[in-house]
Amino acid sequence: MKSAKLLVALAATGLVATSAFAQKSAFEGFYGQLATGYESNNASNLNNTTTTPGETPDTWNTSSQSFGGAPLVIGLGYNFSVAPKWVLGLGADYSAISQKSSTYSGTNIGGSLSGQTLEASNRFNIFITPGYEIDKDKLVYLKAGYSSLTLKNTAPNYYSASPAAIAMGSTTGSFASGSQTSTVSGYVVGLGYKQIITGGFFGFAEANYMSYGKPSFSQSIGGGTNITSNPSVNSYQLLIGAGYKF
């Protein structure tokens, strides 16, 4: 009799444990979301090099640039319950609004090249989000994965000669220039918080950091002269948004 009671007790304990483990999280399933907030893009290594046949290449020193604004980030994903209070998500998001720098210049002993801009667009992230449920309606999570970004580089279009260069025959003026685009790859890491509002609706806040490889831009600016640059870009976003878990 005692053995039978013990077996029943063990079976009941196992059933309770199994039910607790199998209990579905409020965050489990497909979701879609929208977010905005603030985005900053920091571009460095912006020095340009001009090369003209028969002449020594010139380097134009350019300071780092920061530019940004309010993004619009569209996200989709799926969360899996992997253990009591723990979920693992797989998701993707897309930044629909481009961000463009102000015009900037590069200088050396010969004067300055001005009118250059850099634009960031089509940011796309694929990531995993391991998360922990603070309670049934609140989730904190980490974010890590792959990021890609399209950079558009518009070459300088105005040369201001220094007095020394003018004395040697250089002239100040505008010239034709063009633009190039390059898609760069990198990574995204972030931290977020979600809270169920009612039913499947939730609000969330997120902080993300993204870093990318260096593209190679090379363009003709007339007179047989080419200008090259290899900018480096990293970005961060502070987001707040809402979504629906299906």
CB 92 within 8 A of CB 128: no
∠ Cα 120 121 125 (to 5°): 110
The residues that bridge with 121 in the sheet, in sequence order, are 150
- Tell me the pLDDT of the chain averaged across its residues: 90
Average pLDDT over residues 172-193: 94
- Report the predicted TM-score, pTM, of the whole model to 2 decimal places: 0.87
Q: Is pLDDT of 15 > 60?
A: no
Average pLDDT over residues 200-223: 94
Which residues have C-beta within 8 Å of that of residue 74, sequence separation ≥ 6? 33, 34, 93, 94, 96
19-34: pLDDT as tens digits = 344 467 899 999 999 9
Q: Is pLDDT of 223 > 80?
A: no
Average pLDDT over residues 227-236: 96
111-134: pLDDT as tens digits = 999 999 999 999 999 999 999 999
Q: Is pLDDT of 18 > 60?
A: no
52-78: pLDDT as tens digits = 998 899 999 999 999 999 999 999 999
- 151 closest CA partner among 172, 130, 121: 121
The string of DSSP codes covering 35-100 is EEEEEEEEEE---EEEE-TTS--EEEB---EEEEE---EEEEEEEEEEETTEEEEEEEEEE-S-EE
12 — pLDDT class (breaks 50, 70, 90): very low
